[in-house]
């Protein structure tokens, strides 16, 4: 998966990002070129993980390239099966081409793009449609820019009240909420009580987006993933276990 492509979208289910030394390489397995990231860390063994960012190989600091490739070849069949599984879960959330009929995910539903010419820009959600009125509907770049900005505003409209409501339920101050375009997480919360939520949450079913908000709001009280943290998440979102599993399906879809 090319790094330029990866940067187009948020990626998400794990709440942590690798911050150790890393580099991107490629290996041929059964005739397929597979790109992988090497992350060097203080560890004794080689671990291979397949997820939203593709293939990640965590290795000891002094691991040789030969040993890394040997591990990948040893687990080649498993690796290719896992990659196939992730690819099968992908779905379009924004159009690859902003043309009439293109699919776009909005709040968990796949809608068809409708374009029309108008002097003033507007977007209307109808039964099965995402209708954009634009002065230049044939200019895909202009339409995409307008739609993306509209979706970000809509994300704030939906997510900020949800965060405030959930924070008040646990007696926390109203949090400062900002949107992010993070590549590897749906949300984050810092010690200052600031919450960042991925703008792409507007594409997800409302219940899953609310779970992400609940997860981050719980961090206003517990900046960890301790049992007390998960008890608070359960209070805010009783179906949090189901939501986490379902969110994984959407996380695989966010590689566009």
Residue 250 has what pLDDT?
80
List per-block mean pLDDT (blocks of 10 residues) for the chain, which spans 256 residues.
35 35 82 91 92 83 95 94 75 84 94 97 97 97 96 97 98 96 86 94 95 98 96 97 87 56
First to last CA, the chain: 10
Domains and CATH numbers, the chain: 3-88 (no CATH), 103-253 (3.30.2010.10)
Who contacts 96 (Cβ-Cβ below 8 Å, separation ≥6)?
Answer: 102, 256
Residue 32 has what pLDDT?
87
| E-state strands within the chain | 21-29, 32-41, 47-51, 54-60, 103-106, 109-117, 122-126, 129-134, 176-180, 187-189, 194-198
Residue 96 has what pLDDT?
81
The span from the CA of 79 to the CA of 48, in Å, is: 8
Q: 129-134 and 54-60: which strand pairing?
A: unpaired
The span from the CA of 131 to the CA of 124, in Å, is: 5
Residue 11 has what pLDDT?
34
User: 251 is written with which tokens?
Assistant: 């996380």
Report pTM.
0.69
Residue 14 has what pLDDT?
32
Residue 53 has what pLDDT?
63
The span from the CA of 93 to the CA of 109, in Å, is: 9
């Amino acid at each position: 998966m090319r790094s330029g492509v990866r940067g187009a979208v948020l990626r998400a289910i794990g709440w942590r990002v690798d911050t150790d030394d890393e580099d991107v390489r490629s290996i041929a397995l059964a005739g397929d070129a597979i790109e992988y990231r090497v992350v060097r860390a203080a560890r004794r063994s080689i671990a291979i993980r397949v997820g939203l960012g593709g293939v990640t190989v965590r290795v000891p600091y002094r691991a040789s390239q030969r040993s890394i490739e040997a591990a990948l070849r040893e687990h080649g069949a498993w690796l290719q099966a896992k990659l196939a599984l992730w690819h099968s879960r992908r779905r379009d959330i924004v159009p690859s081409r902003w043309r009439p009929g293109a699919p776009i995910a909005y709040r968990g539903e796949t809608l068809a793009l409708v374009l029309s010419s108008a002097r003033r820009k507007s977007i209307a959600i109808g039964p099965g449609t995402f209708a954009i009125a634009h002065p230049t509907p044939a200019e895909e770049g202009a339409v995409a820019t307008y739609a993306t900005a509209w979706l970000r505003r809509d994300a704030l409209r939906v997510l900020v009240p949800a965060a405030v409501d959930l924070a008040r339920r646990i007696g926390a101050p109203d949090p400062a909420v900002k949107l992010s375009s993070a590549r590897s997480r749906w949300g984050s919360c810092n010690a200052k009580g600031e919450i960042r939520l991925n703008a792409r949450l507007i594409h997800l079913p409302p219940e899953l987006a609310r779970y992400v908000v609940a997860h981050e709001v719980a961090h206003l009280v517990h900046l960890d993933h301790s049992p007390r943290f998960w008890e608070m998440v359960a209070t805010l979102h009783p179906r949090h276990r189901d939501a986490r599993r379902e969110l994984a399906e959407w996380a695989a879809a966010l590689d566009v």
